[in-house]
Amino acid sequence: MVERRARVTVSVTAPCRLSVAGELDLDTSGELASALAAASSDGQDVSVDLSGVTFLDSTGTRVLIRAHEALAARGATLLIVDASRAVLRTFELSGVLAFFRLRP
């Protein structure tokens, strides 16, 4: 059975860390956008664990790019942690792999 909805969990540790699992696409990227907006509201760095993401489309990629830009404008960083193969492949194909700060 394929999980259709992404789950976004925001921890309260510093720096803030979000964990995402499932398919991150047009139907689910709004949930991530809301969590990123809430997590980045205080200007601290945000880590996003994408190890559980099984599919990422351009909508989800755009949400991550916008979060990266918003954080950078405040002097903070978006760190992609443990990106799954699906995420890395999408980043490679779309030409944004070097745009993000990645940590295995």
Q: Is the pLDDT of residue 75 over 60?
A: yes
Is the separation of the CB atoms in 44 and 15 below 8 Å?
yes
Contact (Cβ atoms closer than 8 angstroms) between residue 69 and residue 36: no
Confidence of residue 104 (pLDDT cuts 50, 70, 90): confident
If phi over 0 gives left and psi between -120 and 50 gives alpha, with beta otherwise, what is residue 95? left
Structure token pair of residue 12 = 């309260």
- pLDDT tens per residue, range 15-74: 688 999 889 989 889 999 999 998 888 888 999 999 999 999 999 999 999 999 999 999
Q: Does a cis peptide bond (omega within 30 degrees of 0) precede residue 15?
A: yes
Domains present along the chain, CATH in parentheses: 7-103 (3.30.750.24)
Q: Which residue has the tokens 């980045």?
A: 40
- What pTM, to 2 d.p., does this model score? 0.88
